[in-house]
Amino acid sequence: MNYIGSKSSLLQFLEESINKVVDTDCTTFCDLFAGTGIVGRYFKQKGYKIIANDIQYYSYVLNRHYIGNHKELNFAKLSKKIPELNNVKINKRKNFVCDYLSDLKGVKGFIYENYCLGGTKDRKEPRQYFSDENGMRCDAIRQKIENWKRQKLILDDEYYFLITSLVESIDKYANTASVYGAFLKKLKKTAQKNLVLEPASLIINSQSHKVFNEDINELTQKVKGDILYLDPPYNHRQYATNYHLLETIAKYDNPKIHGKTGLRDYNDQKSLYCSRSKVKTAFKDLILKARAKYIFLSYNNEGLMTLEDIKEIMRLRGQYGYFTKKYHRFKADKTKNRNYKANKTVEYLHYVKLSKNRNLV
């Protein structure tokens, strides 16, 4: 997924830098601003036990699958409803179920009625986030997954796999420039194609992992690990507004929505890390409460906190240092309205080795 602040192209830099700092007996990696889960996934594959968290529910869903699921999914109960499943090899059943859902006839549900032209054309503020066909396909798939869960035909692991597959797939057909803060007037090419549900990849290993959906400052005292990796928002752009539609598809909770973009209420998900006046206090609180041997922080040179702020706060816990890498900025930032000087920013990986006297592990 094309996600603001995604670390997908910085994974090697993160790993190489982290390995220069940590000792070899570290086994637990905490990714507590997890977003797409790409960092946790990478370190899960390297053999770490992962603890993941994010305040957004769609992110919880992605991490609950990519991180939390670590055994093959066999859809054993669903075969009562779809007997053909019994003839499918276990490792192909994920594809079979996704194909089955892709073939469903579309229905006019919450997404069609509120985010497609067909459902909104007679309103004061028509919306076109998806083609009519894809809105209806999305509704049909999402409703079927929920019905299967309600009827206990799928296990939680299977449920989160299916919703992850839907969130990741529908995002590829969205009629947006990249995020959900606005939609395009005309249906772009990729939005005209019909939604196909692609099965999300599954990383199988023998470890069990933990996944949370909480405000990090609330969670941090409840978890401990060797390596705490922090990747907060860098600026004022709230994830709750930029990805509101993914939140609604993941929750499918018929929320009250308002305005041109059909925004849901996000009071509980407003991040302090997006507020210039509040971020330092929140970050200091987090660093002081953290329970780990090492803390790493991704941030860039244009973020709301200055490098001095970060250094001053992280040094409170022990020996501080940092690594840097030049980085191409996120695509959606390339608008005329934004007043950035360069296409490249400097990405920092700050770290602190926690001193024994303040180390709470």
Binding site for ligand SAM (CB under 6 A): 3, 5-7, 33, 35-36, 38-39, 54-56, 59, 215-216, 231-233, 239, 271, 273
Nearest to 220 by CA among 287, 284, 316: 287
Nearer to ligand SAM, 163 or 216 (CB): 216
SS3 263: strand
Helices (H), 126-220: 132-150, 156-171, 189-192, 216-219
Q: Which is nearer to ligand SAM, 173 or 273 (CB)?
A: 273
Q: How far is the CB of 245 from ligand SAM (least distance, A)?
A: 14
Q: Phi, psi (5° rounding) for residue 269?
A: -115, 10
- Shortest distance (Å) from residue 329 CB to ligand SAM: 13
Q: Least Å distance between CB 326 and ligand SAM? A: 18
Based on CB atoms, which residue is closest to ligand SAM, 120 or 238? 238
Radius of gyration of the chain from its Cα atoms, rounded to whole angstroms:
21
In angstroms, what is the minimal distance from the CB of 232 to ligand SAM?
Answer: 6
Closest CA to 354 of 317, 310, 315, 320: 317
Report angle CA 262, 267, 273 to the nearest 5 degrees: 110
**CA angle, 81 then 86 then 91, to 5°:** 115
Using DSSP, state whether 316 is helix, strand or coil: helix
Which pair of structure tokens corresponds to residue 286? 């987090």
CA atoms lying within 13 Å on the CB side of residue 153: 16
Shortest Cβ 217–ligand SAM spacing (Å): 6
Which is nearer to ligand SAM, 171 or 231 (by Cβ)?
Answer: 231
Closer Cβ to ligand SAM, 3 or 112, answer by number: 3
121/236 with CB nearer ligand SAM: 236
Which residues, including other chains, have CB under 8 Å from residue 320's CB and lie 6 or more apart? 311, 314, 350, 351, 352
CA–CA separation, 277 vs 309, rounded Å?
13
Q: Write out the H or E segment, with its range, that includes residue 115.
A: helix 110-115
Minimum separation from the CB atom of position 59 to ligand SAM (A): 5
Specify the residue, 53 or 131, whose C-beta has the smaller distance to ligand SAM: 53
Of all residues in the chain, what percent are helix, strand and coil, respectively (each to 5)? 40, 15, 45
The least CB distance from residue 330 to ligand SAM, in Å, is 10
Least distance to ligand SAM, CB of residue 208, Å? 22
Sign for the CA dihedral angle at 123, 129, 132, 137 comes to: negative
Closest by Cα among 89, 76, 192, 182 to 132 = 192
CB of 137 to ligand SAM, least distance (A): 26
The region, left, alpha or beta by phi > 0 then psi within -120 to 50, assigned to residue 259 is: left
For ligand SAM, which is the closer residue by CB, 6 or 102?
Answer: 6
Return the number of the residue (85 or 163) whose C-beta is nearest ligand SAM.
163
